[in-house]
Amino acid sequence: MRQTAAAEPVPLASSLAVGELAWASVCAVGAAVRPDELQPPDPDQIAAAYRSDRHLLIDAVPPDVWSPLSRFWQTADGCVRTHGNYPHHAAALKRGLALPSDASVEQVSGRLATMTAAAACRDITAAGGLCAAVRREDPRYDAALRRRPLVETRRLADSPARSMPSDSRAAPLAGVRVLDLTRVIAGPVATRTLALAGADVLRLDPPELPEPPWQHLDTGHGKRSALLDAATEAPRLHRLLTDADVVVLGYRPAALRRLGLSPEVLAERHPHLVVAQLSAWPGEDSPRGFDSLVQAESGISWLESTDGSAPGALPAQALDHSAGYLLAAAIIDALRRRARSGGSRLVRTSLRRVAAELLGMPRGERPAVTAPYAVRTQQFDVAGHVVTTVAPAVRWPGSPEWFPPPRPWGEDRAEW
C-alpha cells in the first residue's frame, strides 16, 4: 500500500502507524476517482472521520456508543474481549455463559473469571455471541497474510462492457446503482463513500434486527434505507440485483452460501455485477467479528496497552474505517475495469488482513497525548432530530464538500 506521504501527520496517537494507514486508505479513494489528478486530503479531517463516533451529536447530545457488554474481561488465564452492542449478541453472550437474560455486568464478570479464555470463547461463540481471546501478536502469521493482496480483486464471469454512466467531476459515480447489504462501520463507510461520489446506494436491513440509531446516523449519509429479509425474500432481492451495478456484502461467507449469495453464485446469475465482500477474518470460514475483537486477537490490544498489564485499543476503529475506504477504492477501480473489458469482478478484504498491514508498517514511540485537531462538521434534520456529523475526509478535484443527509432508517422502499 503506497501513497504520497502526508505533509503533516494524521493525529491518531499510537505506537503503530495508524495515521499512515488512515492517510493511505483515504488517499486510495481519491486516486481511484482521479488517478491522474490527486488532491491530498486534510490530515485533521481524516483523524476526525476515523473518530466520527466521538464527534457525533443527536440533538446536541453525544450518544452512548458502547454497550456494558462490549469490553475486556479477566478470565482465569488471561483476557477476552466481547461485543454486545446489538441486543441479540448481548443475549447470546449471557446464554453462552449459562446466565439469565437479566444477568448483571457483575455476574458476567464473575462467571468469566472462573473460565479459561478458550472456554469462554468456545461457549459464547457456540451460543451465537462474540468473544475473542486477547493474544500477543504473531509476526509469522501476519507476514503470511501480507503475502496476499490487501484487497483481493479477481474476475468472476464474462459479460459485455458497461460504460461509466457519468463523466462528472463532482459525481463520477452518478447513475451507478449500489446494493448495500452491510452493517456496523466498515461496509457502511465504503457505501457512504460511493454515495459521496454520486452513486445511488440502497441499503437493505433485515426487519427484525434494527441498527442502533447512532450507528446509522454516523455512516448512513446519502443512502436510501429499506427493510428486506434476504432469507425469506430472495426473489425481490434478485430483482434488485438484476438492475444493480454493485453489491456490497457484509454477511459471513457461510451465511452467504446458505442464502445463495456467495460471490460465485451472484456472478453466475448476474454476470455484470461488481461483488464486494467484507469479513472480520480471512477465509471461507470467517466467524462473526468486529474491529475491537480483531484488535484483541491480532495482538494490537496488547501493543496498545499503556501499562503492560491491561490491554488497550487503537485511538479509533481504524481497521473498520480503513477497510471501508480501501474497499470503496477497489469497487471504483473494478467499475472502471468493467467499462473497459466487461465482466463481473470480486473485490474483498477482511479486518484481520488490514490489521496485518498495520502490524507490518514502521512503528514509533506512543505519544503521551493525542494532538488536538480541527474538525469540520455538518448538521442535518433527520426525522425531527438535529444530527451533527463529521464532514467528508475523502477528496478529489471537484469533490463535494459535504455529505448528503442520512435518511431515516428503514423508511424507504426496497426498489430502485
Residue spans of the domains in the chain: they are 18-63+151-287+313-390
> Is residue 156 classed as helix, strand or coil in its secondary structure?
strand
Strands (E), 285-404: 344-350, 377-382, 385-390
CATH superfamily, domain at 18-63+151-287+313-390: Crotonobetainyl-coa:carnitine coa-transferase; domain 1 (3.40.50.10540)
The pLDDT tens digits for 132-151 are 999 999 999 999 999 999 99
The predicted structure's pLDDT at residue 15: 92
The DSSP 8-state label assigned to residue 221 in this structure reads B
CA of residue 175 relative to chain centroid, distance: 24
pLDDT per residue as tens, the chain (416 positions)? 555 667 689 999 999 999 999 999 999 999 999 988 888 999 999 999 999 999 999 999 999 999 999 999 999 999 999 999 999 999 999 999 999 999 999 999 999 999 999 999 999 999 999 999 999 999 999 999 999 999 999 999 999 999 988 888 889 999 999 999 999 999 999 999 999 999 999 999 999 888 899 999 999 999 999 999 988 898 999 999 999 999 999 988 888 888 888 999 999 999 999 999 999 999 877 778 899 999 999 999 999 998 888 999 999 999 999 999 999 999 999 999 999 999 999 999 999 999 999 999 999 887 766 678 899 999 999 999 999 999 999 999 999 999 999 999 999 999 99
Please say whether the beta carbons of 21 and 322 come within 8 A: yes
CA of residue 73 relative to chain centroid, distance: 24
Lookup: cell for 200: 445511488
Kind and range of the H or E element at 20?
helix 18-33
Q: How far is CA 232 from CA 26, 140, 228, 236, 396, in A?
A: 37, 43, 8, 9, 41
The predicted structure's pLDDT at residue 368: 63
CA of residue 80 relative to chain centroid, distance: 22
The candidate with the shortest Cα–Cα distance to 327, out of 403, 250, 240, is 250
254: left (phi over 0), alpha (psi -120 to 50) or beta: alpha
Q: How far is CA 333 from CA 83, 171, 203, 281, in A?
A: 34, 15, 21, 23
Lookup: cell for 329: 477504492
Query: What is the pTM for the complete model shown?
Result: 0.95
The pLDDT tens digits for 232-253 are 898 999 999 999 999 999 988 8
Identify the residue whose cell numbers are 464478570: 109
The predicted structure's pLDDT at residue 98: 97
Q: How far is CA 355 from CA 293, 298, 362, in A?
A: 11, 7, 13
The residue type of 391 is A
The predicted structure's pLDDT at residue 3: 54
